Structure 1
Amino acid sequence: MRDVKDPEVRRAEIMEAALRLFAEKGFLNTTTQDIIDEVKISRGLLYYHFENKEDILYCLVEKYSEPLLRRLSAISYDEEKSALEKVRSFIDATMISPDTITKEMIELQKNVDLEQNHYMMDRFSHRFSNMVTSYFSHIIEQGIAEGVFHVTYPLETAAFLMTGYVFVANDVKALPMEIEQLIQYVTAYKELLERVLGVETPIFTNR
């Protein structure tokens, strides 16, 4: 009897199988036929859900970024927090902690860091930066209303801050770098953030 599953369940199965194969064989050595054999589906069903293996990888990146986007959205629209508190929480939420890194995330990062996938990460980074720009713009507008930020163009300022943050962070992750250098990047960004927002009281007590 034919195994008919909910489309979302089948889609998730394909993504999980692909991630396993990417980890075992490497992205470049994994074929769509490998994925088809692993999930035991027809080629037509694979292409019903995804255009190719690059599309699967892109969707995996989106999947693993969703928890962060939900958290940033929750921070931005939290009615209990001040704008200054939100900026601190927003930046802290984007800092990767060793405790939050999973084996799957490590394997996924190895595959997206391949030179052949740079175009895909640029596409994802543009989408991601557009979303976080919207969230951060809301925080800036709140800070203006509270009288703690002095910004003339909230949306445009948020776009510069967030796009730069996302793309520089991607470049930094791709480079072999000592922890001291990483700290310098974070410190520089926090200083830039305070200057651009025009705050009188430092947002970050320790950088």
Structure 2
Amino acid sequence: MRDVKLPEIRKAEILDASMKLFMEKGYLQTTTQDIINEVGISRGLLYYHFKNKEEILYILVDRSVNPLIAQMEKITEDNTLNPVEKLQQFLQTTIIQEETVTEETITLQETVQLEENRYMMDRFYHKLIEKLLPLLTQIIEEGKKQNLFQVEHPYETAQFLVTGYVFVSNDIKLRHMSMEKMMIYLQAFKRLLSKSLGIEESILDG
């Protein structure tokens, strides 16, 4: 009897199998036939769920940042925190700590650096900006209402800050910089953030 599974279960199996193969063989060396063989499905079923290998990679990268977005949303909606505290946690949450670096994250980082994936990652970064922009805007607007931030245009300011942060922070992470070097970039961003919001830089250090 044919093994019939719910679409979401099958998609998850394909994604998990693809990630396993990317780690074992490398992204470029992994073919769609490898994925088909690993999952034990037909080619038609693979293409029913995904257009190509690039789409599988895109969704894997997107899935990897979902916990980050969920944490950022939790921070933004936390009524026990004031806007400054939310900004502090906002910054802390986006730092990749050494203990969170896994074989999977390393594989994804190395894969997205490939020239072949440049357009896909540009598309992904814009999607990430769309998710983070309303969250930072909300925090800045709260701070403005409470006279904590001196900023005339919260949305536009947030757009510049988020866009720069997403592209620059992902670029330096892909270059495998040391945590010490990454913290220098973070401090530079804090300086930009404090000047944009009209607050003392030391406030962001907690």
Give the TM-score normalised by structure 1. 0.95
Deviation at 1:178, TM superposition (A): 4.7
The letter for the 1-side match of 2:161 is L
Partner residue of 1:42?
42
* C-alpha RMSD of matched pairs (Å): 1.4
Distance (Å, rounded) in 2 between the aligned partners of 1:200 and 1:185? 18
Q: Which residue of 2 aligns with 1:22?
A: 22
How many angstroms apart in 2 are the aligned matches of 1:118 and 1:4? 36
2:55: which partner in 1?
55
Runs of 4+ in structure 1 deviating by more than 4 angstroms, as ranges, are none
Write out per-residue CA displacement over residues 118-174 of structure 1, whole angstroms, 9 at most, x where no aligned residue.
211111110001111110000000000111001111111101000100000122123
Match of 1:186 in 2: 186
The answer to which of 68-77 and 104-113 deviates more is 104-113
Partner residue in 1 for 2:196: 196
- AA at the equivalent of 1:78: D
2: distance between equivalents of 1:201 and 1:108?
34
> Structure 1 84/127 Cα, relative in aligned 2: closer, same or farther at 3 Å?
same
Structure 1 gaps of 5+ residues are none
2:133–2:162 Cα contact (<8 Å) kept: yes
* Kept in 2: contact 1:132–1:162 (CA 8 A): yes
Q: How many residues align?
A: 206
Contact kept, 8 Å, 2:83 with 2:140, in 1: the verdict is yes
Distance 1:94 1:133 in 2: 14
Greater displacement, 26-35 / 50-59: 26-35
User: For the Cα contact (< 8 Å) 1:14–1:39, is it kept in 2?
Assistant: yes
Correspondence 1:7-156 to 2 at 5 A: 7-156=7-156
User: What are the superposed Cα offsets for residues 92-120 of structure 1, whole Å, 9 maximum, x if unpaired?
Assistant: 00001112222211222221121211211
Contact 2:149 2:198 in 1 (8 A): yes
Please state how far the C-alpha of 1:179 moved relative to its aligned partner.
Answer: 4.5
> TM-score, structure 2 length as denominator?
0.95
Identify if the C-alpha distance between structure 1 residues 4 and 78 changes in structure 2 by more than 3 Å, giving closer, same or farther. Answer: same
Structure 1 residue aligned with 2:205:
205
